[in-house]
Amino acid sequence: MPKIEVNEELFYSLVGIRFKSPDAFEEALSCAKAELSEDSDKNVPAAERIIKIELNDTNRPDLWSTAGCARQLGLYYSTLKPSYPFFSRPGAERPAEHSVHVKASVKQVRPYLSGFIATGKAITDSSLRDMIQTQEKLAWNFGRKRRTISMGLYRTELIQWPIIYKAVDPDTVSFVPLQWNCPLTLREILKQHPKGRDYAFIQEHEPLHPLLTDARGAVLSYPPIINSADLGAVQVGDTDLFVELTGTDLPSVTLSASIMACALADQGFTIKPVIVEYEYDTGFGSRVTTPYYFQEPVFCSLTRVERFLGKKLSADECIAALEKMGCKARAGRAKERAAVQEEEGVWMEPPEYRNDFLHAADVAEDIMIGHGLKAFSPIRPRDFTIGRLSPITLFSRTVKELLIGLGYQEMIYNYLGSYKDFVDRMRGGGDTIIRIANPMTENYEYLRNSVITSLLISESVSGHAAYPHKIFEVGKVAYRDSTENYGTATRQFVGFLHTDRDANFNTVAGQLQTLFYYLSREYSALEASDPRFIAGRSAAIQCAGKTVGIFGELHPEVLENFGITVPATAAEIDLDALITT
The answer to whether the beta carbons of residues 232 and 176 sit under 8 Å apart is no
**CA–CA separation, 539 and 568 (whole Å):** 15
**CA–CA separation, 488 and 481 (whole Å):** 5
Q: Which CATH number fits domain 98-290: 3.40.50.2300, 3.50.40.10, 3.40.50.720, 3.90.480.20?
A: 3.50.40.10
Share of the chain above pLDDT 90, in %: 70
141, pLDDT greater than 90? no
Region of residue 429 (phi > 0: left; psi between -120 and 50: alpha; otherwise: beta): left
Residue 234: beta bridge partners?
none
Mean pLDDT to the nearest integer, 301-306:
94
pLDDT tier, 380 (very low <50, low <70, confident <90, very high otherwise)? confident
**CA–CA separation, 416 and 433 (whole Å):** 11
Say what the pLDDT of residue 136 is.
87
What's the helix, strand, coil split of the chain in %, to 5? Answer: 30, 30, 40
524-578: per-residue pLDDT in tens? Answer: 999 999 999 999 999 999 998 899 999 999 999 999 999 999 999 999 999 999 9
Helix (H) or strand (E) holding 568: strand 568-574
Q: What is the mean pLDDT of the chain?
A: 91
300-374: what fold? Phenylalanyl-tRNA Synthetase; Chain B, domain 1 (3.30.56)
Helix (H) or strand (E) holding 472: strand 469-480
The CATH code belonging to domain 3-77 is 3.30.56.10
pTM of the model: 0.78
Cβ contacts of 348 within 8 Å, gap of 6 or more: 297, 298, 299, 300, 322, 327, 328, 329, 357, 363, 366
Which of the pair, 132 or 314, is modelled with greater confidence? Answer: 314
Share of the chain above pLDDT 70, in %: 98
Say what the pLDDT of residue 486 is.
84
**CA–CA separation, 210 and 14 (whole Å):** 37
175-221: per-residue pLDDT in tens? Answer: 999 989 999 999 999 999 999 999 998 988 889 999 999 999 999 99
Say what the pLDDT of residue 552 is.
95
Judged by average pLDDT, the poorest of 101-115, 333-347, 382-396, 508-522 is 333-347
Q: Any idea where the domains of the chain sit in the sequence?
A: 3-77, 98-290, 300-374, 391-578
Q: How many CB atoms lie within 10 A of CB 83?
A: 8
448, pLDDT greater than 80? yes
346, pLDDT greater than 80? yes
DSSP E strands: which ranges in 169-240?
174-175, 184-185, 209-213, 219-222, 226-227
Say what the pLDDT of residue 352 is.
96
Judged by average pLDDT, the poorest of 55-59, 107-111, 228-232, 458-462 is 55-59
pLDDT tier, 484 (very low <50, low <70, confident <90, very high otherwise)? confident
82-93: per-residue pLDDT in tens? Answer: 899 999 999 899
What is the layout of strands, in order, in the sheet containing 298-301?
298-301, 343-349, 328-334
Helix (H) or strand (E) holding 129: helix 125-137
Per CATH, the architecture of 391-578 is what? 2-Layer Sandwich (3.30)
Say what the pLDDT of residue 339 is.
63
Residue-by-residue DSSP string for 24-41: HHHHHGGGGTEEEEE---
Judged by average pLDDT, the poorest of 41-50, 339-348, 409-418 is 41-50
The answer to whether the beta carbons of residues 535 and 496 sit under 8 Å apart is no
23-44: per-residue pLDDT in tens? Answer: 888 888 999 988 888 765 666 7
| Peptide bond just before 291 cis, omega within 30 deg | yes
The answer to whether the beta carbons of residues 523 and 513 sit under 8 Å apart is no
DSSP E strands: which ranges in 34-91?
34-38, 50-55
**CA–CA separation, 247 and 249 (whole Å):** 6
Say what the pLDDT of residue 46 is.
66
Q: How many CB atoms lie within 10 A of CB 254?
A: 27
User: Among 517, 488, 481, 498, which residue's Cα sits nearest to residue 572?
Assistant: 498
Residue 112: beta bridge partners?
247
The DSSP output letter for 231 is T
pLDDT tier, 163 (very low <50, low <70, confident <90, very high otherwise)? very high
Residue 231 has phi, psi (to 5 degrees) of: -65, -30
334, pLDDT greater than 90? no
* Straight-line distance from the first to the last Cα atom of the chain, in angstroms, rounded to the nearest whole number: 41
**CA–CA separation, 572 and 549 (whole Å):** 5
**CA–CA separation, 211 and 249 (whole Å):** 18
Helix (H) or strand (E) holding 243: strand 241-247
